[in-house]
Structure 1
Amino acid sequence: MLVISLAGFIPALVNPVGRRAPLTFLAATHGIVFLAWLLLFLTQSLLVAKGNVRWHRALGFTSIGLLALMIPLGFETTAAMVRRGFDLSGDQHIVQHADGAASLDVYQASIFNFGGLLLFASLAVAAIYYRRRPEIHKRFILYANISLMGAPITHLIGHNPPLVLTPPAVLVPIFILLLTGLARDYILAGRIHPLTVLLAVGSFASFPMWGALIGPSPAWHRFAAWISQ
């Protein structure tokens, strides 16, 4: 997930010539905080792998502070993107559907960003709540982090012209990431934990639900327009 995030966002930082707009303070702050979260996740995983549970728990309090920053930053960054016509932080600008038939419906597209943020927040809070139950805690935090991958995957595809930025193109890498939890359970334990199945299936099912049911609805359009003001 760190590699995907770096590969998705670094090209526009290393070579900003192709940017559609300057990097804003909001987008930069958002990126730094979310990167800090993934680095914390890596550190916490390594601490547990080495059996250093005491430091893992002590450092875990940092996640609460980062989470308190991530949620409002993620919300405001998405709202700002919608106001700019779905400008991806000035990095890329989506103006049409893949078939070129119509302009992108920014309110409909925003469901994936707002929905992903809500999914991440819910799973991360659940992981903190179950912090004393490792088998539950680690599954919630893994799938919370996978829910953040939509944005970096979108940017990664956009920086590679042979790839076409479509919903399936974004969903396939996310689907592979969701499968890693299932594979890990089966390889190490010989069975798949029920919570892993629930989180993997529920996470994947959320995308067609957002895209086909909620996003196109007039109620969502009115709500998205209101919260993006």
Structure 2
Amino acid sequence: MTILIDRNSSRASAKVEAQVFYFYMALSCMAVAFLGFAPTYWVPMAKGSLSSAPVVHLHGLLFFAWTLYFVFQSWLAASGRIARHRSVGMIGVSLATAMTIMGFLAAVNTMKRSAAAGLADDGIAFAIVPLSGILFFAVVFALAIINVRNREAHKRLMLLASISILDAAVARWFLTFLAPPGPAGPPPVPVTIAPALVAYLLLVAAIVFDWRTRGRPHPVYLYGGAALVAVKLLNWPISTTTAWHSLAGGILALAQ
């Protein structure tokens, strides 16, 4: 009887630890998003020196709102308010849908600005970064909704989706402090890889936590993480192909 009680107590403790861990991971995602965009968005906006198209502001608002929503949902789950967590889930569906649409529009806006500056080819090549990123987010989020009754898969898919959109925030610090001086324009696709790998360290932390608590990483992290890294690495060679330039160039032509 004592052994059974100890086992049940251990399982309950592990469950609480996992719930708190995902809450702190959500807080980490929010912190990365806020601090990442601080030098190029939040601080200039506070000073009144930021000049951006409305689509950029709406895009930023929605994506940062996602991190706040993710923190709130993680807090509800960690505090045991599962019914409330599920009822608020519909907000997440609407928010993720809006993010997908605005992510696409923001990528098109970047291509249009690049074309206006005489850098159409550079803008078309770079467009694969935000477009593949928002597509990956949308697919993983959809899988999280499909697996809503599978708590172990659902929470990991939600974390994977949130981590997948943090590379842009980390990249702002690279561009602010490491980019060489030169004319404004979209950065080369290869330089987006390093910031992404830094952002993905949060995924490494989640894998380590799984290893410590489960004895092995969850398949979501293994397959989803591998897909995330593969998409990021494949952006570079695909962005140079004629097929991509035809596809993205066609989107740009329709938008003009």
Deviations 1:102-146 (A, max 9, x none): x98222221111101100000011111111111111111111111
Q: Does 171-180 or 193-202 show the bigger shift?
A: 171-180
Aligned to 1:139: 156
**1:167–1:68 CA distance, 2 compared to 1 (3 A):** closer
| Structure 2: distance between partners of 1:114 and 1:11 | 24
| Structure 1: distance between partners of 2:249 and 2:94 | 29
Q: Unpaired segments of 5 or more residues in structure 1?
A: 88-92, 96-102
Aligned length: 214
1:25 aligns with 2:54: yes
**1:43–1:15 CA distance, 2 compared to 1 (3 A):** same
| Structure 1: distance between partners of 2:33 and 2:115 | 19
User: Out of 137, 146, 163, which is 1:120 matched to?
Assistant: 137
1:67 aligns with 2:96: yes
Aligned to 1:215: 239
| Structure 2: distance between partners of 1:172 and 1:34 | 20
**1:148–1:30 CA distance, 2 compared to 1 (3 A):** same
Aligned to 1:34: 63
Is 2:193–2:232's contact at 8 Å kept on the other side of the alignment? Answer: no
Task: Find the residue that maps to 2:148 and give its secondary structure.
Answer: coil
Task: Find the residue that maps to 1:114 and give its secondary structure.
Answer: helix
| Structure 2: distance between partners of 1:178 and 1:124 | 16
| Structure 2: distance between partners of 1:25 and 1:167 | 24
| Structure 1: distance between partners of 2:113 and 2:61 | 21
**1:163–1:192 CA distance, 2 compared to 1 (3 A):** farther
Aligned to 2:77: 48
CA RMSD of aligned residues (A): 2.6
**1:79–1:53 CA distance, 2 compared to 1 (3 A):** same
1:226 aligns with 2:243: no
Q: How far is 1:168 from its partner? A: 4.0
Deviations 1:32-60 (A, max 9, x none): 11111111111111111111111110111
| Structure 1: distance between partners of 2:115 and 2:212 | 41
Task: Write the letter of the residue equivalent to 2:34.
Answer: L
With normalisation by structure 1, the TM-score equals 0.84
Q: How far is 1:24 from its partner? A: 2.1
Q: Does 161-170 or 184-193 show the bigger shift?
A: 161-170
